[in-house]
Amino acid sequence: LAQLFRPLDMLGMVYRTIRQGLIDMEAMFRLIDTPSEITDAPGAAALHVAGGAVAFEDVVFGYEADRTILNGVSFAVGAGETLAIVGPSGAGKSTIARLLFRFYDPQGGRILIDGQDIRAVTQQSLRAAIGIVPQDTVLFNDSIGYNIAYGRADARVEEIAEAAKGAAIDGFIAMLPQGYETEVGERGLKLSGGEKQRVAIARTLLKNPPVLILDEATSALDSRTEAAIQDTLERIAERRTTLVIAHRLSTVTSADRIIVLDRGRVAETGTHDQLLAMRGLYADMWARQQAEREEGTV
Ligand code: ATP
Protein backbone atom coordinates (compact mmCIF):
# COMPACT_ATOMS: atom_id res chain seq x y z
CA LEU A 1 0.00 0.00 0.00
CA ALA A 2 2.82 2.36 0.92
CA GLN A 3 4.23 1.65 -2.51
CA LEU A 4 0.93 2.60 -4.10
CA PHE A 5 0.59 5.87 -2.30
CA ARG A 6 4.22 6.99 -2.33
CA PRO A 7 4.02 9.10 -5.47
CA LEU A 8 0.83 10.63 -4.19
CA ASP A 9 2.15 11.32 -0.71
CA MET A 10 4.75 13.52 -2.26
CA LEU A 11 1.92 15.69 -3.44
CA GLY A 12 -0.31 15.96 -0.44
CA MET A 13 -2.67 18.37 -2.05
CA VAL A 14 -3.14 16.22 -5.11
CA TYR A 15 -3.61 13.14 -2.94
CA ARG A 16 -6.40 14.72 -0.93
CA THR A 17 -8.11 15.77 -4.10
CA ILE A 18 -8.17 12.17 -5.29
CA ARG A 19 -9.83 10.99 -2.13
CA GLN A 20 -12.54 13.57 -2.50
CA GLY A 21 -14.05 11.81 -5.45
CA LEU A 22 -13.61 11.82 -9.13
CA ILE A 23 -11.31 14.74 -9.64
CA ASP A 24 -10.13 16.30 -12.80
CA MET A 25 -7.95 13.36 -13.64
CA GLU A 26 -6.59 14.80 -16.80
CA ALA A 27 -5.12 17.67 -14.85
CA MET A 28 -3.84 15.22 -12.29
CA PHE A 29 -1.93 13.21 -14.80
CA ARG A 30 -0.22 16.25 -16.11
CA LEU A 31 0.71 17.34 -12.60
CA ILE A 32 2.17 14.08 -11.42
CA ASP A 33 3.30 12.85 -14.79
CA THR A 34 1.53 9.47 -14.62
CA PRO A 35 1.56 7.34 -11.47
CA SER A 36 4.26 4.69 -11.39
CA GLU A 37 1.81 1.77 -11.15
CA ILE A 38 0.31 2.25 -14.58
CA THR A 39 2.61 1.89 -17.55
CA ASP A 40 2.12 1.29 -21.24
CA ALA A 41 2.42 -2.34 -22.29
CA PRO A 42 5.54 -2.97 -24.42
CA GLY A 43 4.68 -2.12 -27.99
CA ALA A 44 1.28 -0.72 -26.99
CA ALA A 45 -0.70 0.52 -29.96
CA ALA A 46 -2.82 3.65 -30.08
CA LEU A 47 -6.49 3.12 -29.23
CA HIS A 48 -8.50 3.02 -32.40
CA VAL A 49 -11.90 4.53 -31.72
CA ALA A 50 -14.68 3.49 -34.06
CA GLY A 51 -17.89 4.37 -32.20
CA GLY A 52 -16.60 4.42 -28.64
CA ALA A 53 -18.41 1.35 -27.26
CA VAL A 54 -17.39 0.60 -23.67
CA ALA A 55 -17.53 -2.78 -21.95
CA PHE A 56 -16.62 -4.00 -18.48
CA GLU A 57 -16.19 -7.78 -18.35
CA ASP A 58 -16.21 -9.38 -14.93
CA VAL A 59 -14.10 -6.60 -13.44
CA VAL A 60 -12.70 -7.20 -9.98
CA PHE A 61 -11.03 -4.35 -8.16
CA GLY A 62 -10.04 -3.15 -4.71
CA TYR A 63 -7.84 -0.22 -3.71
CA GLU A 64 -6.48 -2.35 -0.89
CA ALA A 65 -5.73 -6.06 -1.03
CA ASP A 66 -8.17 -7.01 1.71
CA ARG A 67 -11.14 -4.97 0.53
CA THR A 68 -12.84 -5.66 -2.79
CA ILE A 69 -14.87 -2.75 -4.14
CA LEU A 70 -15.96 -4.24 -7.47
CA ASN A 71 -16.56 -7.95 -7.39
CA GLY A 72 -17.23 -9.10 -10.95
CA VAL A 73 -18.84 -6.10 -12.60
CA SER A 74 -20.03 -6.51 -16.19
CA PHE A 75 -21.92 -4.12 -18.43
CA ALA A 76 -21.76 -2.81 -21.97
CA VAL A 77 -22.53 0.62 -23.36
CA GLY A 78 -23.11 0.80 -27.09
CA ALA A 79 -21.52 3.51 -29.22
CA GLY A 80 -23.36 6.78 -28.62
CA GLU A 81 -25.49 5.42 -25.78
CA THR A 82 -25.90 6.83 -22.31
CA LEU A 83 -25.46 4.55 -19.32
CA ALA A 84 -26.25 5.79 -15.83
CA ILE A 85 -24.57 4.20 -12.84
CA VAL A 86 -26.47 4.46 -9.59
CA GLY A 87 -26.18 2.84 -6.18
CA PRO A 88 -25.65 3.62 -2.54
CA SER A 89 -22.85 5.92 -1.46
CA GLY A 90 -19.56 4.04 -1.54
CA ALA A 91 -20.88 1.38 -3.94
CA GLY A 92 -18.03 2.04 -6.37
CA LYS A 93 -19.62 4.33 -8.97
CA SER A 94 -16.70 6.74 -9.21
CA THR A 95 -14.31 3.79 -9.05
CA ILE A 96 -15.74 2.57 -12.37
CA ALA A 97 -14.87 5.92 -13.94
CA ARG A 98 -11.34 5.85 -12.49
CA LEU A 99 -10.79 2.37 -13.94
CA LEU A 100 -12.06 3.39 -17.37
CA PHE A 101 -9.60 6.27 -17.37
CA ARG A 102 -6.99 3.72 -16.28
CA PHE A 103 -6.07 5.49 -13.13
CA TYR A 104 -5.80 1.97 -11.75
CA ASP A 105 -5.82 -1.50 -13.33
CA PRO A 106 -8.37 -4.09 -12.23
CA GLN A 107 -7.17 -7.23 -10.45
CA GLY A 108 -9.49 -9.35 -12.60
CA GLY A 109 -11.52 -9.08 -15.78
CA ARG A 110 -11.17 -6.66 -18.67
CA ILE A 111 -12.24 -3.20 -19.74
CA LEU A 112 -12.71 -2.69 -23.46
CA ILE A 113 -13.24 0.28 -25.72
CA ASP A 114 -14.36 -0.75 -29.18
CA GLY A 115 -13.11 -4.25 -28.42
CA GLN A 116 -9.61 -3.17 -27.36
CA ASP A 117 -8.41 -3.96 -23.85
CA ILE A 118 -7.47 -0.59 -22.37
CA ARG A 119 -4.33 -2.15 -20.85
CA ALA A 120 -3.06 -2.91 -24.35
CA VAL A 121 -3.26 0.64 -25.72
CA THR A 122 -1.18 3.71 -24.97
CA GLN A 123 -2.41 5.79 -22.04
CA GLN A 124 -2.04 8.90 -24.10
CA SER A 125 -4.46 7.65 -26.76
CA LEU A 126 -6.86 6.29 -24.13
CA ARG A 127 -7.04 9.57 -22.26
CA ALA A 128 -7.40 11.54 -25.45
CA ALA A 129 -10.58 9.54 -26.17
CA ILE A 130 -12.24 10.17 -22.80
CA GLY A 131 -13.59 13.46 -21.52
CA ILE A 132 -14.53 13.95 -17.91
CA VAL A 133 -16.80 16.51 -16.36
CA PRO A 134 -15.88 16.02 -12.71
CA GLN A 135 -17.96 16.84 -9.63
CA ASP A 136 -15.66 19.57 -8.63
CA THR A 137 -13.41 21.25 -11.12
CA VAL A 138 -10.10 22.58 -9.93
CA LEU A 139 -9.40 25.87 -11.66
CA PHE A 140 -5.91 27.04 -12.42
CA ASN A 141 -4.83 30.50 -11.31
CA ASP A 142 -5.01 31.85 -14.80
CA SER A 143 -7.51 33.43 -17.16
CA ILE A 144 -10.91 31.87 -17.71
CA GLY A 145 -9.94 31.44 -21.38
CA TYR A 146 -6.84 29.50 -20.38
CA ASN A 147 -8.94 27.35 -18.08
CA ILE A 148 -11.32 26.47 -20.91
CA ALA A 149 -8.52 25.78 -23.37
CA TYR A 150 -6.58 23.73 -20.83
CA GLY A 151 -5.18 20.67 -22.56
CA ARG A 152 -5.69 22.20 -25.99
CA ALA A 153 -2.94 24.78 -26.09
CA ASP A 154 -3.46 25.12 -29.84
CA ALA A 155 -7.14 26.12 -29.50
CA ARG A 156 -8.07 29.22 -31.45
CA VAL A 157 -9.98 32.06 -29.81
CA GLU A 158 -13.05 31.28 -31.91
CA GLU A 159 -12.97 27.65 -30.81
CA ILE A 160 -12.79 28.69 -27.15
CA ALA A 161 -15.74 31.03 -27.65
CA GLU A 162 -17.69 28.27 -29.40
CA ALA A 163 -17.06 25.87 -26.51
CA ALA A 164 -18.09 28.53 -23.99
CA LYS A 165 -21.29 28.99 -25.94
CA GLY A 166 -21.97 25.25 -25.97
CA ALA A 167 -21.52 25.22 -22.20
CA ALA A 168 -23.74 28.31 -21.85
CA ILE A 169 -21.07 30.29 -20.04
CA ASP A 170 -20.42 32.77 -22.86
CA GLY A 171 -22.94 35.31 -21.52
CA PHE A 172 -21.31 35.21 -18.08
CA ILE A 173 -17.83 35.70 -19.58
CA ALA A 174 -19.02 38.59 -21.74
CA MET A 175 -19.99 40.46 -18.57
CA LEU A 176 -16.63 39.99 -16.86
CA PRO A 177 -14.36 43.05 -16.73
CA GLN A 178 -11.66 41.48 -18.92
CA GLY A 179 -13.77 38.90 -20.72
CA TYR A 180 -11.79 35.75 -21.50
CA GLU A 181 -8.67 37.33 -19.99
CA THR A 182 -10.26 37.62 -16.53
CA GLU A 183 -8.16 35.87 -13.90
CA VAL A 184 -9.99 33.14 -11.99
CA GLY A 185 -9.05 30.62 -9.31
CA GLU A 186 -7.82 31.14 -5.77
CA ARG A 187 -6.10 34.39 -6.54
CA GLY A 188 -8.62 35.70 -9.03
CA LEU A 189 -12.36 35.80 -9.45
CA LYS A 190 -14.07 33.03 -7.49
CA LEU A 191 -16.58 31.10 -9.54
CA SER A 192 -19.68 29.40 -8.17
CA GLY A 193 -20.08 25.60 -8.31
CA GLY A 194 -22.31 25.90 -11.36
CA GLU A 195 -19.92 28.24 -13.17
CA LYS A 196 -16.97 25.97 -12.48
CA GLN A 197 -18.92 23.06 -13.84
CA ARG A 198 -19.63 25.03 -17.00
CA VAL A 199 -15.90 25.70 -17.40
CA ALA A 200 -15.39 21.93 -17.20
CA ILE A 201 -18.13 21.38 -19.78
CA ALA A 202 -16.58 23.94 -22.13
CA ARG A 203 -13.16 22.28 -21.70
CA THR A 204 -14.73 18.94 -22.61
CA LEU A 205 -16.48 20.38 -25.65
CA LEU A 206 -13.18 21.72 -26.89
CA LYS A 207 -11.58 18.32 -26.43
CA ASN A 208 -14.50 16.71 -28.26
CA PRO A 209 -13.96 13.16 -27.00
CA PRO A 210 -15.97 10.18 -28.27
CA VAL A 211 -16.41 8.88 -24.71
CA LEU A 212 -17.71 11.06 -21.93
CA ILE A 213 -17.85 10.57 -18.17
CA LEU A 214 -20.18 12.85 -16.27
CA ASP A 215 -19.73 12.78 -12.54
CA GLU A 216 -22.81 14.44 -11.24
CA ALA A 217 -22.21 17.05 -8.58
CA THR A 218 -23.15 15.88 -5.11
CA SER A 219 -22.93 19.36 -3.70
CA ALA A 220 -26.27 21.02 -4.06
CA LEU A 221 -26.60 23.57 -6.81
CA ASP A 222 -29.82 25.53 -6.67
CA SER A 223 -32.52 23.73 -8.62
CA ARG A 224 -32.66 26.22 -11.50
CA THR A 225 -28.91 26.10 -12.05
CA GLU A 226 -29.03 22.34 -11.80
CA ALA A 227 -31.80 22.02 -14.37
CA ALA A 228 -29.94 24.33 -16.75
CA ILE A 229 -26.70 22.36 -16.36
CA GLN A 230 -28.59 19.12 -16.81
CA ASP A 231 -29.91 20.44 -20.10
CA THR A 232 -26.44 21.35 -21.29
CA LEU A 233 -25.07 17.97 -20.27
CA GLU A 234 -27.81 16.12 -22.10
CA ARG A 235 -26.99 18.06 -25.23
CA ILE A 236 -23.28 17.27 -25.12
CA ALA A 237 -24.01 13.61 -24.36
CA GLU A 238 -25.86 13.25 -27.65
CA ARG A 239 -23.94 11.17 -30.17
CA ARG A 240 -21.24 10.32 -27.63
CA THR A 241 -20.90 7.26 -25.47
CA THR A 242 -21.67 8.61 -22.03
CA LEU A 243 -21.34 7.20 -18.54
CA VAL A 244 -23.21 9.21 -15.96
CA ILE A 245 -22.19 8.69 -12.35
CA ALA A 246 -25.44 9.64 -10.70
CA HIS A 247 -25.98 10.50 -7.09
CA ARG A 248 -29.60 11.49 -7.59
CA LEU A 249 -32.05 9.39 -9.57
CA SER A 250 -34.05 12.29 -10.93
CA THR A 251 -31.29 13.04 -13.42
CA VAL A 252 -31.01 9.58 -14.96
CA THR A 253 -34.56 8.80 -15.99
CA SER A 254 -33.79 9.43 -19.65
CA ALA A 255 -30.64 7.27 -19.83
CA ASP A 256 -30.68 4.43 -22.38
CA ARG A 257 -29.80 2.07 -19.57
CA ILE A 258 -29.24 2.26 -15.85
CA ILE A 259 -27.15 -0.12 -13.77
CA VAL A 260 -27.60 -0.36 -10.03
CA LEU A 261 -24.42 -1.17 -8.15
CA ASP A 262 -24.68 -2.86 -4.81
CA ARG A 263 -22.04 -4.58 -2.74
CA GLY A 264 -19.57 -4.74 -5.59
CA ARG A 265 -21.94 -6.15 -8.18
CA VAL A 266 -24.45 -5.01 -10.76
CA ALA A 267 -27.64 -5.80 -8.89
CA GLU A 268 -30.14 -4.56 -11.50
CA THR A 269 -30.04 -3.34 -15.11
CA GLY A 270 -32.71 -1.68 -17.22
CA THR A 271 -34.38 1.53 -18.22
CA HIS A 272 -36.02 3.68 -15.57
CA ASP A 273 -39.44 2.16 -16.29
CA GLN A 274 -38.13 -1.40 -16.36
CA LEU A 275 -36.32 -0.91 -13.07
CA LEU A 276 -39.39 0.56 -11.40
CA ALA A 277 -41.41 -2.43 -12.58
CA MET A 278 -38.87 -4.80 -10.94
CA ARG A 279 -39.80 -3.38 -7.55
CA GLY A 280 -36.29 -4.00 -6.30
CA LEU A 281 -33.44 -1.80 -5.12
CA TYR A 282 -33.94 0.91 -7.74
CA ALA A 283 -37.65 1.14 -7.06
CA ASP A 284 -36.90 1.49 -3.34
CA MET A 285 -34.32 4.18 -3.95
CA TRP A 286 -36.72 6.01 -6.22
CA ALA A 287 -39.57 5.87 -3.69
CA ARG A 288 -37.26 7.13 -0.95
CA GLN A 289 -36.03 10.05 -3.05
CA GLN A 290 -39.55 10.97 -4.08
CA ALA A 291 -40.63 11.02 -0.44
CA GLU A 292 -37.66 13.22 0.51
CA ARG A 293 -38.50 15.53 -2.35
CA GLU A 294 -42.05 15.88 -1.15
CA GLU A 295 -40.85 16.63 2.35
CA GLY A 296 -38.70 19.30 0.78
CA THR A 297 -35.47 17.91 2.16
CA VAL A 298 -33.88 17.51 -1.27
P1 ATP B 1 -20.49 8.27 -3.69
O2 ATP B 1 -21.86 8.12 -4.26
O3 ATP B 1 -20.53 8.50 -2.20
O4 ATP B 1 -19.62 9.25 -4.39
P5 ATP B 1 -19.23 5.96 -5.01
O6 ATP B 1 -20.22 4.90 -5.30
O7 ATP B 1 -18.81 6.82 -6.15
O8 ATP B 1 -19.75 6.82 -3.79
P9 ATP B 1 -16.43 5.29 -4.79
O10 ATP B 1 -15.90 6.67 -4.70
O11 ATP B 1 -16.24 4.56 -6.07
O12 ATP B 1 -17.97 5.25 -4.37
O13 ATP B 1 -15.78 4.47 -3.60
C14 ATP B 1 -16.05 3.10 -3.39
C15 ATP B 1 -15.31 2.64 -2.13
O16 ATP B 1 -13.92 2.70 -2.36
C17 ATP B 1 -15.59 3.49 -0.92
O18 ATP B 1 -15.78 2.64 0.19
C19 ATP B 1 -14.34 4.30 -0.73
O20 ATP B 1 -14.08 4.53 0.62
C21 ATP B 1 -13.27 3.43 -1.34
N22 ATP B 1 -12.19 4.24 -1.94
C23 ATP B 1 -12.35 5.20 -2.86
N24 ATP B 1 -11.16 5.72 -3.22
C25 ATP B 1 -10.23 5.08 -2.50
C26 ATP B 1 -8.80 5.14 -2.40
N27 ATP B 1 -8.09 6.00 -3.14
N28 ATP B 1 -8.20 4.31 -1.53
C29 ATP B 1 -8.88 3.44 -0.78
N30 ATP B 1 -10.23 3.32 -0.82
C31 ATP B 1 -10.89 4.11 -1.67
Does the pLDDT value for residue 106 go beyond 50? Answer: yes
Adjacent-strand bridge partners of 245: 85, 215
- Calculate the CA 119 to chain-centre distance: 19
69 Cα–ligand 1 center, Å? 8
pTM: predicted TM-score of the whole model, two decimal places: 0.83
Is residue 179 lining ligand 1, measured as CB closer than 6 Å?
Answer: no
pLDDT confidence bin for 21, thresholds 50/70/90: very low
Which residues, 6+ apart, have CB-to-CB distance to 259 below 8 Å? Answer: 75, 83, 84, 85, 86, 266, 268, 269
Q: Is the CB of 63 under 6 A from ligand 1?
A: yes
The whole-angstrom separation of Cα 200 and Cα 24 is: 9
> Each residue of 67-99: pLDDT tens digit?
999 999 999 999 999 999 999 888 999 899 999
Q: Which of 25, 56, 63 to mutate to test the pocket of ligand 1 (most atoms within 8 A of CB)?
A: 63
Ligand 1, closest atom to CA 91? Answer: 6
Mean pLDDT of 21-26: 50
Cβ of 93 closer than 6 Å to ligand 1, yes or no, is yes
- Which residue's alpha carbon is at the smallest distance from atom 4 of ligand 1? 89
Q: pLDDT (tens digit, 9 = 90+) per residue, 214-256?
A: 987 655 567 777 777 788 888 888 889 999 998 778 778 889 9
Q: Is the CB of 247 under 6 A from ligand 1?
A: yes
Instruction: Provide the pLDDT for residue 292.
Output: 81
**Least confident range of 143-147, 161-165, 245-249:** 245-249
Contacts of 54 (CB under 8 A, 6+ apart): 76, 77, 83, 100, 111, 112, 113, 211, 241, 243
pLDDT tens, position by position, 126-137: 999 999 888 778
